[in-house]
Structure 1
Amino acid sequence: MRPNPNRGRVYRRCGYRDSHGRQLGTRCPRLSNTRHGSGAYAVDMPSLNGKRKTRRRSGYATKTEASTALAKTLECERAGVHLDDTETVAQYLTGWLQERSRTLKPTPSSATATTPPRT
């Protein structure tokens, strides 16, 4: 199956809030000014349970930067790289250590105990 080149969307949004405290987002009237707001993207990513999961990221200075980030995200997905930015360093290292321990050869503890100290 050929990947869809038009997957995802890039837009500008604003962090200003209305009188009720809700963010204006894409409804901000000042977005007509190109210097106002920040670039953002949204794309539907596959998940293990089969449900659609939308990945949204914002805070880019321009729409071009957001478009570049979207392209990088899609390229990583096509290459099979799983991007999970909610994973903590501790979770990553625990998983890495479990994977690595399967391939490492055990070191005999007697070899280190019988080696005389260097002088």
Structure 2
Amino acid sequence: MSTLGTIKNFTSAGAIAPYRIVAAGASDGIVKQATAATDKLLGCTGVGRVDAADKRIDVCLDNVQKIEFGGDVAFGDPLTSDAQGRAIKAEPAAGANVRVVGNALESGSLGVIGDVHIVPSTLQG
């Protein structure tokens, strides 16, 4: 079950789909749909969406939220972003860092919209 938590409104750098991971954009107050595990992950969109740049969008910054999975995810896995802003297991290579948006609160596979505890952090391999 999703809960409201902290929600902040930002300006989009481009299209952002529902239930996707959101990352910091190029300047203050601008966000984008995450496209890589190295993006500065902030939270997720929930049911919100925008179809173009310079639109306003609410971003869920904490608590338990719904995010679409981009592959197999197990309960408790740390999650990062794939190229489409979907949640995948964070698995950094040795000596590399990946950004984590939070931890899976259920198992799922590609296309499942699952519960994630939003706790942005960095994981080092």
TM-score (norm 2): 0.24
Higher strand content, 1 or 2:
2
**Higher relative contact order at CA 8 Å, sep ≥6: structure 1 or structure 2?**
2
Higher helix content, 1 or 2:
1
TM-score (norm 1): 0.25
